Each structure stands twice: as C-alpha cells, then as structure tokens.
Structure 1
Amino acid sequence: MNQKYQLDREYSIAEIIQCNLRRWWLALICAVVCAVVLGGYKYKSLEPYLEQNIYENVRQVVATLYVQTYSDESSTERANNLIRIAESNRTFEKVKEKLGCDIDYKTYQALFRMAQEETGDIVLLYLQYPIDTGDFSIAEEEDAIVFAQAVVDATAESATELNGQECFSVIDAPYASQENKKVENYFISEDDFNRGVMKGLVAGFLLGIIAEVALYSFWLVLYRKPKSAEEVCQILDVPVIDDVKTRKVSEEEVYKKVSLFLRKHMKERTNGCMRINCIPIGTVRRDAALKLAFSCANEQKKTLFIDLAIDAEGKDAKNSISQYILGESGEPVPSALNGYLDTICRDTAEEKNFDVVMHEKFAAYLNEMSEKYDYIVINSPNAGASADAYAASRLCNSSFVVCTRSGVDNEMLCRLKNTADAQEITIEGVLVYEG
C-alpha cells in the first residue's frame, strides 16, 4: 500500500494573507496603539518649541570697570587693550600668586569673559559658576567673587606697570547675579506643530499594521497552528462533526450530534453494542468522552464509560481495571453515575509499566461487557503521548478525534493521521473546539 507520509503542512502566501485579513481587528488594535505612541512622542518633543524661546538660569559674578583716558587712543582701543592685559600671561601669574592656586594658562582664560559696553568706556567682567575644569573648580558664590576680585586687582597692577598710571577705576566690585539667558531661538508655528503630530500618528498607524502582519505571519509559519476547523478536516482527511464555539452553543446538543454522527458512520456492531473511542490530541478538554457517555445514557441506553486517561479521575479500589487485567484482583465493579451510566477507571500506579490496553484480557473484558451494555465509551490517553489511544481504537467499531485549534499544531495532526493509516484505524470524524 502506497501511503503519503507527512509531518507538516506549508502555508501559501495567499493563505497567510487571508488569515491576516480575518484578523483585521488585531491589526487595528496594533495600529491605534502605535499611532498613540508615536503621535504622543511627536507632541511631547515639539510642544516646547511651539512659538517659544528657550531660556536657562545662569549664575554668575559681574564686575563693572570704567576705562580712564590713559592714552590718546580711542575708547574702543583703550578698552580692548585693557581686556588683552586682563587675559595676558603677566596678569595670570599675578592671579596665581594672589590666590595661591595652581592652574594652567588656558584654564585661566576659559574661566572668565570680558566685554566692552556700547558706551565705549565701560568694560564688564563675567565669571559663570559653578565650573569644574578637572584641575580647578569654583563651586560657591564666595569663591567666584574672590577669583573675580583677584583678576580685577591683578589687571590693575599689570596696566599700571605698563602705562605708568592707573588705567581704570572700579565702578562695581564683583557681585553675584542671576540671568535668564536665551539658549535657543528656535520655534515652530502651530501649523508646523499640527503637521508634525499628524505625521507621527500616520507613521505609527502604518507601523502598527506592518508590525502586526509581520509578527502574526511569522507566528503562523513558525508554529503552523490550524487556522480553522476546515484545515483540521483537510489534514486528518475526515469530516468535522462540529466546530464548537463554547460560549455560543449548548454542549449537550453538541454531543447529541456526535452520537448521531457516530451511529451513522459506525462499523459493524459487536453483539449489538456500539464501542466508541474518543481520541484526544494536543491540549484539549478532558471531559469530551464523559459528556458523550452522558448523552448516550440520556437515550436510556445502558452505557459503560471506561476512563483510560493517565491521570483519570474517580478511580477507587473497586472500579480499577488495572489490577484485574494484571491478574491481581477480580473483575472490577463499575461505579454508577446514574441509572444508565456506569464507569470504570485505570490506576497507572498499579500497572508497574505493564501494558493494560494492549493485553488480550482487556479485549476479552470489552467483549464480555458488550453483552451487558448498549454503548461502551472509552476516554483514551492523549494520542500525542500514548499509543493506548490507537490500541483502544482497534478494539472499537467507532472512533473520533477531539482537539482545540489553539492547543494543537499541524505536526500533531499529521502524526495522528499517519499513525492511524499505518495501523489501519478508521477515524470517523473530528470534534473541533475553538480554544
């Protein structure tokens, strides 16, 4: 027999596009979020420049000097000569001597600034603080005044030595002041501001859509989650019994559909009893087989529910089939759930790694129970983790798969399909939950 073996299913570009279009609401959410973030960023960054000037508070020491007529030169030339004298190396040495500090000449020149006023005979000395050049620092107002006074005194001495007379008089001795200084003269109009914010909103909206499409497409390609019940149907090559939206339908009605479907597609009955195996795959609801058993019992048909799940609930010493199969106890006594539904469970702790479902005694037990019950519903372990699900199907005349789209990927479904085909197990249908 020539069978096609596959472990995955590639998505075409068209399928990815269609899936993204179905998730338009997710793209809209991402677009709005990114638009708010980028638009808000543009608003915050541009709002300070909206027809405003930027200022900073400057702390400084100021001294005012009046330049005397110590030569025939113009007032501008006399003021410039005085500034050059203050910045000269001669004055620098005198300042070092007065303060007893050890700074280099370039640092000295960078500490203060002298400027001529428009009147021509007035020169102002500015020293901003706090300042730290690494080797020398001025942190407090008192230190700044002392340094500025030393510069004024040293300049006076140097000028007198060079010109033979006093060259300036002090109008204002060094004093501390604060000034709101304009540090930025940049502003934008309200129209430019609105255009900038709108560009941020549009860019964020488009970026959100692109990011959602890229990330969702990557997630699809990487994990290959089934996008719909139709895709589950295509991979398993069986009909979909129902696509269950858990918040919109009655599960009691769902399992009535399952019962009707399996009765229609079942293989030949064994002693008039219908044996049904529920094969869960992936992360799935554990009570699917039990709900089907209740649905069968509601038809007033004697039903036996056999829970073979690895961590089955409701087990006790009397209704455990494990010890009976291994010959350590007598036939298990089913527990009655209602007048038409009985249940037995397995106890994996008692099995000691022996195969119970594949044991011939288990098959004989099913044949014996088939004479007493109208339905036998088996809840198999997860087919992705245990071969018992396939062993139980070989003993039944009807099997169906139950899964959730969010709890299974394409590789799990492909493995289930491949194994069932190799074991010649017929799966009648699949019950798909939304998530």
Structure 2
Amino acid sequence: MTAPHAAVLAAAPAVKDHRALRFLTAGSVDDGKSTLIGRLLFDSRAILADQLDTLEKRAAGAPIDLSLLTDGLEAEREQGITIDVAYRYFATKQRKFIIADAPGHEQYTRNMVTAAAGSDAAVVLVDITKIDVTAKPVVLLPQTRRHALLAHLLRVPSIVFAVNKLDAVEDPALAFNTTRDALLAFAKHAGIEVAGVIPVSALRGDNVTQPLDADWYDGPSLLQVLESLPALQERKDGDLLIPVQYVAREGEGTGNQPRTLWGRIAHGQVKAGDKVQLFPSGQEAVVAEVRLAGSVVDVVTAGQSAGVVLDRQLDVSRGDWIGTPGSVKETQRFSATLAWLDTEPAVVGRKYWVRHGNRWVQARIASIESRLDIHTLDKIDAHELAVNEIGQVVIETQQALPVEAYGQNRVGGALIIVDPASNRTSGALLVKGAA
C-alpha cells in the first residue's frame, strides 16, 4: 500500500490565514455536498436548538438527515436535491467560514458559477460509489470534471477534492488511492493546482472535522485543510480601479451639492489628493475626500467599498469606472473564455446584453474559436456552444469597455451575458485580452 500523505497535500498551502474563508461545495448530484456541510455545521455546533429539534422530529428516531440544514426550499426537500445556492456560516477557534452549497445538477450549473465567482476555495466532492475503481483508467464523473474546470477557470485560488462515502465500499484504502491518482492525473492535465485530496464520510463524520483513524491514511481532516487555506487578497498596490455602483448627493436643493461616488475597489487604493480618470467620459479630476461606511478617512484599499468625492462636478452615473489616469485601456473587441449556461445555444452574430461591473451594453459573439472537451481537455472546432459547454470566443461590444484580463483581476475581467428576449443569464465571460 502506498503512503498517501505526501501525494494528498502535494500542493497544499503552508500558511495560516485567520481571515474568514469563503468556500463552495461542488460536484455531481448526490455526491453528498449538503450532507457534508450539515456535518460541518453539526460538529462545529453551529446549529440552533430549534433547528436540531425539527431535524430530530423529522427523523422520528432514525439518524438525522444533515442535508436538510442547507436544502431549505420546499422543492429541494421534496426531490432530495439542491436547486439554489444556500449560504451557511460557522466558526472554529482558528477562523470563520462562509459556505456556499452549489447544486450538482447540470441544469443548475449557472448557480455553481455564481457561487464560485466570489469564493476563496472550492471543495469538489467525489462519490466513490459511482466510480469503477477497477477500470483502467479510472473514469471520473462529467460533473466532477466540469465543476473543477469551472472553479479553475473562475480562478478560485484553492481547489480541494473530497472523496466521499468511503464507509460504503469494501476496501476504502484501495478505492481512495485509486481515485486520488485519477484526480491528480486529471488535475495535472488540466493545469489545476490541487490544495488537497481528502478521504471523508460525510454521513458518518469520518475525517470531516476529526482526523481519520485508519492505518492507510495519516493526513489531515478536511477541516484542518480548510483552516490552513489562504483567503483571497485583492491587490492593494498599483493602479486604482473602482466600478461605480451608486451616486449619492448630500443635502437638499440644487445640483451644486457635493456628490459621493460609491463602489467596491477592485484593486489599488484611493486617498484625498489622488488624480483619477473617469470612464467612459475620459475626464480627469482630483479626489477631494474619501469615505468608508459614511465617515471621512485617510485611505480606502482594495476589497472595501469607498465613497469618492471629486474636486469638481462631473457627469458620473452608475456603471462608470474610476481609475488611475492612463492605466485603463478601453476596447470594443476582446477574446474571452465563455461558460455557456443557457438551454438556447450560443451562436455567432446574435446580439446579447453584457454586464461589466455595473454597466450594461449591447454585444455580440463575433466568433467561436473552439470548444473545450471536458473528457479529453482538447480544444475542438465549434460554431456554437450548447448548455454547460466552455469555449474560447471573441466578443464585440456596442460601446468600449475598460476590460482587464481575468487572470489579473476578477472584477475588471468578468462579464455576464443576458438574453435580451428572455432576460435569462446565458453565460459567464472571462476576459483573456484585446482581440
């Protein structure tokens, strides 16, 4: 038997970070995502007494169904599946956690993308009972591969694979080691840096919050790995970029009253005296003062919501951008990775609405360069993208946008596509660069 510890955490972060960790659970349907979160909440004593009473009454003497702690919609309880993203909170002595329980069904992949966009880590569950560990090579489930790829494309900093339901197989050591090797091989092929491959039994609680008592595994528990992962840190140095979300005018009367431009700083920092440039107007001004939570402060940094007051009145509205002069390049044509989420396929030439920051503009897909085969990871020629497919595209917008490469900044480099006829969110765009 091979010793798993070195391979399990070959790329695990060694740092300790006490900031709150936002992570999502992903993977195929019925892999045990909701049960795993319920186990974390139960073992960390983050369940209210009335919630526990309700679960015990529903169980009627049987083991408590921990998945009901996150599956809050009536339709979810009736069907035994997760439909919408459910957010839950718990804390240990080391740090606080914000969990997003994402659906496993293919038709709800858009919900998983929404959860991943703001997460520091992704825990991709793998149901060991659905895998033929005797196959050569071992075949992973499509949703396991898809969700891991989406988390990677969305630049979720840390990806952890949790191999679940080891209590349901005859030889858990063989099943885990074989599956672990398949996951690491897939991750290496996809260019995914894995933070850990952890054996667990969410139903029984094995290796979730307490280390596994087994001679074939001497690695950490899932909770120990989560406690060690770094939280996303926005870039505080360098150029400033703020998407304007809200324009507030103080006092009553004419438009001569000072206005405060509010928005969450994507990167950089802002302080009084800084020169800034507005987009799309291109006009420049000087920051007269900055505010944080309504109070005037010396400086506001990336990740915080800043209120910016300029030294002169300019025409600024929701959807505009504030940046360091000369740092933001506008373009009407750019290449991007497109994760398509709509049942109507993405086709070349069709017009859509796109949202960049808080700004809406019309756009069209100028070309579809390729489609990613999630099984082989090869790029295939394509003329359209079907639901849940991922491709490389070129986008043309009606107006110029100050887009950035998604790899450099998740705010300036991300857009959503909306169907103008149905108003459905049809896709997620991750900018690669000007085309």
Q: Please report the TM-score for the alignment, with normalisation by the length of structure 2.
A: 0.27
Q: Please report the TM-score for the alignment, with normalisation by the length of structure 1.
A: 0.27
Name the one with the larger helix percent.
1
Q: Which has the higher contact order (CA 8 A, sep 6+)?
A: 1
